[in-house]
Chains A and B, each alone.
Chain A
Amino acid sequence: KPMEVEEIVTFHTTPTEKGPRYGELHRAGNEPLATPCCVLHSNNGIPFHLTSDLLKNLPYATALHVSLSDLYENSKLIENYGKGWKQLAHIPQGKWLFLDSTDPSIYFESNMTCVVLQTRGGRVTVSTAAFAKLLEDSKIDVSTNLYYDITWAHSRKRAVKSIEISSKALEEHLEGNPEHAAKMFGVIAGGGNILERERAADLIADKPVLGFMLGGFGVDETEEQIKEFIPNIAGRLPSSKPLMIHSAGDPYSVLLLISLGIDLIVSPFSKAVSDLGCVLTWNLTPDVPVERPDSDKIMVSLMDNNLKTDKSPPVQGCECYTCKNHTRGYICHLLNVHEMLGDTLLQIHNTHHYTKFFAEIRERISKGNFQEYFDAFNAIYRPDNSQATA
């Protein structure tokens, strides 16, 4: 079947030995995606409370994560509609959607012979063919292959199984739909077993995929494991291809992952902060000292009743819609009476702040002073050089 030109995705970067690099994902007729970038957790492409008109004012929010567990039950609807998910859900065409087979924060025991999804309607077994069809019908920009994820604590036996299922799924998928290779991130499973991870990488290193997803991260790995595993795995893959990973997404972890050569980070961080009733306040240019309240903190809670008559914006100087139009006191009220607008206003700010962080990182990499930026961040926010990540 002839592939539509729009579906070809290519990655451009100047490969480095290891370390942070600037790159771009290209596809015909649409805006490129600059990396390193954040792939934001969302609800089927809509980042929690942020409808399309609100998304338009968040220019740095360029990539959205779509979980197969959520999208799958809409398969019939998507097939009948025929014009793709972005149009159906009214997601701006310029945004990039990443379909991911798994959400690492939701773990459940599977029967280990195939991929099982936990959907709203219950557990569903998904065949590669059904998955490929959904990817085709939904016209989603980029996807991982179907895979079965495990945590770092799992046994070697499970690690072997996870690799078997994942690599088999990739093979089957590309056999049935070779044109999907150009939009696929092959998954490297294997949990916390370094030898299995190496083997998994070797298994798919020369597949004609767009890039690679390092599965199973973002839940319970330690910083040491990140520093050990990632260079090891990346070293066995072609450096011209982008690397994607899940992370808890706190700023230190983001900087660390990017310093190790990661290009795309799937992150729930900004949304998690909003759920806590907090706004992100850390200084996005730690290499330039600023004088504003709370710039010495990563985040601040707006539920605090001491703020109920605070007329200042959540973050002074922030150019997002929330900070330009509303006060801490008003948001404090909304949160305390459980009004949805409170969540929306937090999401607008936190999404803006967090995605702008990645824009600052990209600029530093382009200018060649990423390490100074990382050091400046650590000097302010991790002065005791503590080893813990999020």
Chain B
Amino acid sequence: GMEVEVPLKFVVHATQGPSRASTLTLPHGDVLTPVFMPVGTQGTIKGLTVEQLNELGPQIILGNTYHLGHRPGPDVMEEMGGLHTFMNWNKNLLTDSGGFQMVSLLKLAEITEEGVKFESPHDGSELVLTPEKSMEIQNHIGADIMMALDDVVHSTTTGERLEEATHRTLRWIDRCIKAHKRPHEQNLFGIVQGGLNPRLRDISLAGLIERNLPGYAIGGLSGGESKDEFWKIVFQCTQKLPANKPRYLMGVGFPVDMVVCVALGVDMFDCVYPTRTARFGTALVPTGLLSLKQNKFENDFSPIDETCTCGTCKNYTRAYLHSLCKGDEIGAQLVSVHNIAYQLGLMRALRDNIIAGTFPEYVRSFMLLQFPTKEYPGWVVDALKAVNIELTY
């Protein structure tokens, strides 16, 4: 294929088994990987100002094309100079293609060769999201990384439909590449599909690698499938994807899952989980979860996590946050800040340990904190064993 000079550099500094610590250089700065990308659906991360976000320190965040494509819409976005300028965020952005949310949010989403047919939520008229349209919207948004439109199916889909989706995704990537009008400013990532079928995954992998894209995502794996099948497919993909390009596992964000997948060779994650669970008063901590709504925290004047340096842990107690859980929005916001800080801190710790050569020890101690009775989930044991990490018994 044609060589396009893409605005992306990926340098691997250290590895430990398949895991790697790298620097991903994008138009709006460096991103240290492994990385967790907070999700800022509609051009903001749930109530946080850009200044507050910079305190937390993410180097890249996500925007959703489906939402932004409706409001404010691509024309307003272009007029206002793209999403960076619009929200006054001068670090990196990644946008998804819009397809996944259509399929999960809209009733009459029907997928044809043309694109994703759906009923407009505003006036009920029939619209189609084509690869070309997705590229157009994402070009207007101007994110540093944009995702190709893929034929996304539920992870438990099998048979003819899965076969069709795998091949169609490859046909669509060619349409995406052709329609992408800003290849020198924005990086187009392809998404590996194929469900839980290794043969189809291989076809998808080979086809995307052949297109020589700046980066690759592993799609179709964030809901419904068994964890035993999940990790094997992730591993198959990381083994086959080129080592000199970033690997992005979409929609995965539970801490245990991310630690295992970093061990398997994943570099990038996104998930709404940390901010969504914060709205229910649930905080992420090294030992698992803290459900702050529970009355046992009524008089607990310690912070969510003694080892955490985020603003919430520095300045607020569990007891006070518990009192806010009865419906104050500010409670959700404070816990969101902590949860994002937790995820970012976890990624930093994984990275530092890969560089220091102590990654297996870190994984062991992490899992022991999460499962103090040593009843580790079978799939975690298997996955780590596959990369020569034995857990503590």
Q: Give the nearest-CB partner of B322 in chain A.
A: A77
Residues of A within 8 A of B55 (CB): 53
CA distance A43 to B330 in the complex (A): 10
User: Do A339 and B315 touch (CB < 8 A)?
Assistant: no
CA distance A337 to B86 in the complex (A): 15
Kindly state whether residue B243 has any CB partner on chain A within 8 Å: no
Kindly state whether residue A387 has any CB partner on chain B within 8 Å: no
Question: Could you tell me the distance in whole angstroms from the C-beta of B98 to the nearest C-beta in chain A?
Answer: 16
Kindly state whether residue A333 has any CB partner on chain B within 8 Å: yes
User: Do B315 and A333 touch (CB < 8 A)?
Assistant: no
User: Do A341 and B80 touch (CB < 8 A)?
Assistant: no
User: Do A49 and B49 touch (CB < 8 A)?
Assistant: no
User: Do B50 and A120 touch (CB < 8 A)?
Assistant: no
CA distance A329 to B82 in the complex (A): 12
CA distance A309 to B316 in the complex (A): 39
User: Do B51 and A43 touch (CB < 8 A)?
Assistant: no
Residues of B within 8 A of A54 (CB): 49, 52
Q: Which of A33-88 contact B (CB under 8 A)?
A: 43, 46, 49, 51-54, 74, 76-77, 80-81, 88
Kindly state whether residue B43 has any CB partner on chain A within 8 Å: yes
User: Do B86 and A77 touch (CB < 8 A)?
Assistant: no
Residues of B within 8 A of A76 (CB): 298
Q: Which of B304-350 contact A (CB under 8 A)?
A: 311, 315-317, 319-320, 323, 326-330, 333-334
User: Do A333 and B72 touch (CB < 8 A)?
Assistant: yes
User: Do B80 and A337 touch (CB < 8 A)?
Assistant: no
Residues of B within 8 A of A330 (CB): 43, 80, 86-88
User: Do A341 and B311 touch (CB < 8 A)?
Assistant: no
Q: Give the nearest-CB partner of B319 in chain A.
A: A77
Kindly state whether residue B182 has any CB partner on chain A within 8 Å: no
Question: Could you tell me the distance in whole angstroms from the C-beta of B304 to the nearest C-beta in chain A?
Answer: 14
Using known A-B contacts A53-B311, A81-B319, determine if residue A325 contacts B50 with beta carbons closer than 8 Å.
yes
Q: How many residues in A have their beta carbons less than 8 Å from beta carbons of B?
A: 34
Kindly state whether residue A18 has any CB partner on chain B within 8 Å: no
User: Do B76 and A309 touch (CB < 8 A)?
Assistant: yes
Kindly state whether residue B71 has any CB partner on chain A within 8 Å: yes
Using known A-B contacts A53-B311, A333-B43, determine if residue A120 contacts B48 with beta carbons closer than 8 Å.
no
Kindly state whether residue A311 has any CB partner on chain B within 8 Å: yes
Using known A-B contacts A329-B76, A339-B44, A340-B46, determine if residue A53 contacts B323 with beta carbons closer than 8 Å.
no
CA distance A90 to B48 in the complex (A): 18
Q: Tally inter-chain residue pairs, CB-CB below 8 A.
A: 91
Using known A-B contacts A88-B320, A120-B327, A309-B79, determine if residue A321 contacts B51 with beta carbons closer than 8 Å.
yes
CA distance A89 to B326 in the complex (A): 15
Question: Could you tell me the distance in whole angstroms from the C-beta of B325 to the nearest C-beta in chain A?
Answer: 12
CA distance A321 to B323 in the complex (A): 29
Question: Could you tell me the distance in whole angstroms from the C-beta of A327 to the nearest C-beta in chain B?
Answer: 7
Cβ contacts A300-327/B at 8 Å (1 or 0 each): 0000000011010000000001000111
Kindly state whether residue B198 has any CB partner on chain A within 8 Å: no
In the complex, which of the residues A43, A81, A334 contacts B328, with contact meaning CB atoms closer than 8 Å?
Answer: A43
In the complex, which of the residues B42, B86, B298, B315 contacts A52, with contact meaning CB atoms closer than 8 Å?
Answer: B315
CA distance A55 to B43 in the complex (A): 23
Kindly state whether residue A344 has any CB partner on chain B within 8 Å: yes
Q: Which of B19-75 contact A (CB under 8 A)?
A: 42-44, 46-52, 55, 67, 71-72
Residues of A within 8 A of B298 (CB): 76-77
Q: Give the nearest-CB partner of B47 in chain A.
A: A340
CA distance A308 to B44 in the complex (A): 16
Residues of A within 8 A of B72 (CB): 308, 329, 333
In the complex, which of the residues B76, B326, B330, B333 contacts A308, with contact meaning CB atoms closer than 8 Å?
Answer: B76
User: Do A339 and B317 touch (CB < 8 A)?
Assistant: no
Residues of A within 8 A of B239 (CB): none
Using known A-B contacts A81-B301, A120-B326, A330-B88, determine if residue A49 contacts B80 with beta carbons closer than 8 Å.
no
Using known A-B contacts A325-B50, A325-B88, determine if residue A309 contacts B299 with beta carbons closer than 8 Å.
no
User: Do A341 and B319 touch (CB < 8 A)?
Assistant: no
CA distance A308 to B76 in the complex (A): 7
In the complex, which of the residues B44, B299, B329 contacts A77, with contact meaning CB atoms closer than 8 Å?
Answer: B299
Kindly state whether residue A213 has any CB partner on chain B within 8 Å: no
Using known A-B contacts A53-B311, A333-B76, determine if residue A341 contacts B44 with beta carbons closer than 8 Å.
yes
Residues of A within 8 A of B326 (CB): 120
User: Do B46 and A344 touch (CB < 8 A)?
Assistant: no
Residues of A within 8 A of B329 (CB): 49, 340
CA distance A363 to B277 in the complex (A): 48
Residue among A308, A326, A333, A337 with most chain B CB within 10 A: A333
In the complex, which of the residues A51, A74, A325, A329 contacts B80, with contact meaning CB atoms closer than 8 Å?
Answer: A329
Residues of B within 8 A of A334 (CB): 42-44
- Can you list 15 A-B contacts (CB < 8 A)? A43-B330, A76-B298, A77-B319, A88-B320, A89-B320, A90-B315, A309-B76, A321-B49, A321-B51, A325-B51, A329-B86, A333-B43, A334-B43, A341-B44, A345-B49
Supply 16 further A-B pairs (C-beta < 8 A) apart from A340-B47, A341-B49: A49-B329, A53-B55, A77-B299, A90-B315, A90-B316, A326-B88, A329-B76, A329-B86, A330-B80, A330-B87, A333-B71, A334-B44, A337-B42, A337-B67, A339-B46, A339-B47
Please list the 9 inter-chain residue pairs (A to B) with the smallest Cβ-Cβ separation, ordered nearest first. A340-B47, A341-B44, A90-B315, A309-B79, A333-B72, A80-B299, A337-B42, A339-B44, A88-B320
